[in-house]
């Protein structure tokens, strides 16, 4: 077999992975994986309102199942890396396609969420690093415990600058999420023009619900609804 015949399949594969639609598909699939994790993370975190025993038992279950824990972490790491690479490549393609910006740019068909995707993404990534150092590693936590996750949450969020940063980060995450959900449906071919308004509305609602869920925890710690003695029953 000639070298040209061998090179041809390789060139086809290279062109396939360089295609814009493939990059968008990678972003959509990895975005779906990250959305699933965010959903599970929110459900797990909200157990703090059920008391110290419940949230600590949940954390102990995760730490006691290392295959599940590290399997999830590896999948997430691969998804994050692939998501970032695809994002950077798409940004480069977009920049190359239009090296000169519009003289007067009109944003008739875009939203603030869509226009800010390239900004909110890196900001969320920076926050995730801090969040891991705060609640997973404990390097920047004032009173970190390996076993008492409930106390980690309460003491961590009683510091109002931390809670404020967390709430802002959740706002950015949910803004990113609201457009990402719509883009995922669009990229995977599941969005019909007649259903576009409904999908966009549903994406915004999901973003708001997730923001409320995540923000409820630091707000509860700041207001005393969550305390070292346990959650206050309303």
Q: Is residue 84 part of a domain?
A: yes
Q: Is residue 78 part of a domain?
A: yes
Q: Is residue 2 part of a domain?
A: no
User: What's the pLDDT at 100?
Assistant: 52
Q: Is residue 3 part of a domain?
A: no
Q: Is residue 218 part of a domain?
A: yes
Q: Is residue 170 part of a domain?
A: yes
Kindly report the number of other CB atoms within 10 A of residue 119's CB atom: 12
CATH classification at residue 179: 1.20.1300
Q: Is residue 1 part of a domain?
A: no
| Number of compact structural domains in the chain | 1
User: What's the pLDDT at 97?
Assistant: 63
Given a cut of 70, the residues of the chain with pLDDT beneath it are 1-18, 97-114, 188-192, 229, 232-234
Q: Is residue 233 part of a domain?
A: no
pLDDT, tens digit, for every residue of 47-64?
Answer: 999 999 999 999 999 999
User: What's the pLDDT at 92?
Assistant: 82
User: What's the pLDDT at 210?
Assistant: 96
List the domain range (segments joined by +) for residue 55.
8-98+109-223
User: What's the pLDDT at 145?
Assistant: 93
User: What's the pLDDT at 24?
Assistant: 84
User: What's the pLDDT at 89?
Assistant: 86
User: What's the pLDDT at 223?
Assistant: 94
């Amino acid at each position: 077999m000639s070298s040209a015949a061998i090179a041809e399949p390789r060139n086809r594969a290279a062109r396939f992975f360089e295609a814009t639609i493939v990059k968008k598909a990678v972003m959509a699939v990895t975005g779906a994986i990250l959305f699933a994790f965010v959903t599970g993370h929110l459900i797990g975190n909200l157990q703090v309102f059920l008391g110290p025993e419940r949230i600590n038992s949940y954390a102990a279950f995760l730490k006691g199942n290392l295959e599940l824990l590290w399997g999830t972490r590896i999948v997430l790491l691969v998804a994050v890396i692939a998501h970032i690479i695809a994002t950077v490549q798409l940004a480069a393609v977009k920049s190359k396609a239009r090296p000169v910006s519009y003289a007067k740019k009109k944003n008739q068909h875009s939203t603030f969420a869509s226009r800010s995707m390239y900004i909110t993404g890196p900001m969320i990534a920076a926050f995730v690093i801090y969040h891991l150092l705060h609640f997973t590693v404990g390097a920047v936590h004032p009173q970190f415990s390996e076993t008492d996750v409930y106390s980690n949450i309460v003491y961590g969020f009683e510091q109002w600058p931390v809670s404020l940063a967390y709430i802002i980060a959740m706002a950015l995450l949910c803004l990113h999420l609201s457009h990402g959900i719509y883009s995922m449906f669009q990229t995977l071919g599941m969005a019909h023009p007649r259903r576009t308004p409904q999908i966009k509305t549903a994406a915004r609602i999901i973003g708001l619900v997730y923001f409320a869920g995540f923000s409820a925890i630091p707000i509860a710690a700041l207001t005393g609804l969550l305390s070292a003695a346990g959650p206050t029953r309303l």
